Chain A
Amino acid sequence: MRKQAISSAFAAAALAVGLAACGGASDSTSDAGDAAAADGGVKLGLVAYAVPKPGFDQLIPAFQKTDAGKGVTFSQSYGASGDQSRKVEAGLETDVVNFSVEPDVTRLVKAGLVDEDWNQDANKGLAFGSVVTIVVRKGNPKGIKDWDDLLKSGVEVVTPNPFSSGSAKWNLLAPYADKSNGGQDAKAGVAFIDQLVSDHVKVQPKSGREATETFLQGAGDALLTYENEALFIERQGEDVEHVTPPVTFKIENPVAVLSTSKHPEQAKAFKDYLYSPEGQELWAKAGFRPVDEAVLAKYKADFPDPEKLWTITDLGGWGEVDPALFDPDNGSIAKIYNAATS
């Protein structure tokens, strides 16, 4: 009996190793795309922030149909932008990264994993973007239309933890920019955030996606999130609608190829595909604002223009904003979070 047990254990192990070796597989029931890695095929690793999966679900199969993408399989990982960036810094091997905010790429530049000139190309390393929007229950029972409405008595706001999530940073920059008039009156901006976080934010989801889940499970009256995430859950049939305030913030999500990538050629080809007209259309269809102006114009219906769209450049760029507001020990917004929740 013992000998039998040992040999069957070995057989199981061998089988398991064989199956596990076909890695990086997709989890959708419809596509059979990544099941078998072609011999000599390249496997690209993609580490992304929490919400772009609906986009990549379209772009990866399309890329695999192009010449550059033939025989390329993907292993994908999605999670809170800060957490993902830290994991790559700590040694998680991959080829392409797509984070929510620039500082998460800068962390990798500092660690020597991404070339310093990653954002010197024509698109500044940004393949797509979005705007900050507010998701409310269908019918908008609490009548939330603008940032001030969030401070109404009894309104509970769901927004992720800015220490782990990139989405959280965008969410807070939008009302901050509005109230501080583009950073000119930092005090007013911080005061608003203080009131918002201290009195109206209770839950602390880790990432943009977890915040969505928490909201859909019944917590809160308003969810601050990316427009693309709002479109995603609406298209899934959830009982929600989104309201974009007249003054909001432009979200720009960077993409970079790791200098330590084992397949730099294919990785760059994939990155370039994201900018191609074909790729941009797919992003737009998935609900992400493309950077290609022509494609953006085509999908105007999904992407209305807000009255005023602040950008990170208006505030002085991430190099200034991140330390001033979000540095874990000294940032003004970080201090508010620490006081309220830690």
Chain B
Amino acid sequence: MAAPTTTPAHPAARAASKRRLSRRTAGGVGPIGLGVATLWLSLIVLAPLAAITIKSFENGLGGFVDAIDAPAARAALLVTLGVSLAVALINVVLGTLIAWVLVRDDFRGKSLVNALIDLPFALPTIVASIVLLSLYGPQSPFDIQLNATRPGLVVALLFVTLPFVVRSVQPVLIELDREVEQAAASLGASNLTIFRKIVLPTLAPAVLGGAGLAFTRAIGEYGSVVLIGGGIPKETEVASQYIQKQIEIDRFVNAAAVSVTLLLIAFVVLFTLRTLGGRAARREEHAG
């Protein structure tokens, strides 16, 4: 799935169309349409998230901190963050490598492999869980037992986050102007130098962006880890499993607090990476 970027229209064109603008906004939806869109987003997205945020602070800030400081909650969050970080790092390396092979290499069946990358997007998470469990669980044909272990969690999360870095890096690699590389090579730069100084900086924003998406997806993942993870508190229980358990025993404030924590972590990561990526991109532009 290509990640569409919303590039603003070129300033000159925008100004030109403003001048040509008739009193009726020809293709737009006007204030009613905007109102409908706002109401829609509020009802579907904002209202539930507001509810859970309000609930998490029902016992005040102290109650919130107590809820996420409870040993099992803390453990669940640490396991989740640790495993997700590992997955993001592995994806950075292997995702970039796979994108490289898909763009710069050519072999029979490449388009099939390329399409396969999107499979984790299209596959239901619970199916991923069962599929991995059949391979690495008690009925494993290779006698590899990964269920109820942290490596098992890592494998499941690698599966579902596979497309993020790859699809993020591919378009940038395709756009990469090879002339700069060739110029550097003709000046005597080694492959490693070229990669470090020319290719990598250009790819960096995309890699970071993809890694951020992968990390965010991993910390919230449930369906693909629910069967293979085993849910052992303090060992393989992830935050989403902890939240679900708390909801089921009517401990709503605990569930809400951990949920809001996950949301905050996701926002911080995405925001940081977007800023870093934006800065790196701007540096690139200025460097010419």
Contact = CB atoms under 8 A, between A and B. Distances in A.
Indicate yes or no for A touching B, C-beta below 8 A: yes
Interface of A: 80, 82-83, 86, 161, 163-164, 202-206, 214, 216-219, 328, 341-342
Interface stretch (B13-21, B37-45, B158-166, B228-236): B228-236
B245 interface: yes
Nearest to A79: B248
Nearest to A203: B232
Nearest to A80: B248
Majority secondary structure of chain B interface residues (helix, strand, loop or mixed): loop
A218 B228 CA distance: 12
Given A204-B231, A204-B233, A341-B233, A219 B148 contact: yes
B175 interface: no
B205 interface: no
A126 to B, nearest CB: 26
In the A-B complex, list the 10 residue pairs whose CB atoms are closest, starting with the nearest. A342-B72, A163-B249, A341-B233, A217-B138, A218-B138, A203-B232, A83-B248, A204-B233, A202-B232, A164-B248
A203, A204, A341, A342: most-surrounded residue (chain B CB, <10 A): A342
A29 B75 CA distance: 43
Contacts, number: 46
Contacts of A86: 248, 250
Given A202-B232, A216-B138, A217-B138, A82 B249 contact: yes
Nearest to B133: A217
Contact of A164 (B148, B232, B233, B249): B249
B232 A217 contact: no
B209 interface: no
A342 B145 contact: no
Majority secondary structure of chain A interface residues (helix, strand, loop or mixed): loop
Nearest to B237: A204
Contacts of B245: 161, 164, 204, 206
Interface in B221-259: 230-235, 237, 245, 248-250
Given A83-B248, A217-B147, A218-B147, A203 B231 contact: yes
8 contacts: A83-B248, A86-B248, A164-B248, A164-B249, A204-B245, A216-B138, A218-B138, A328-B249
B147, B233, B237: most-surrounded residue (chain A CB, <10 A): B233
B124 interface: no
Contacts of A204: 231-233, 237, 245
Contacts of B71: 342
Contact of B148 (A80, A161, A216, A217): A217
B137 interface: yes
Contacts of A341: 72, 233-234
Contacts of A342: 70-73, 233
A236 to B, nearest CB: 15
Contacts of B72: 341-342
Given A214-B230, A217-B148, A328-B249, 18 more contacts: A86-B248, A161-B245, A163-B249, A202-B232, A203-B148, A203-B230, A203-B231, A204-B237, A205-B231, A206-B248, A216-B138, A217-B147, A217-B230, A218-B147, A341-B234, A342-B70, A342-B73, A342-B233
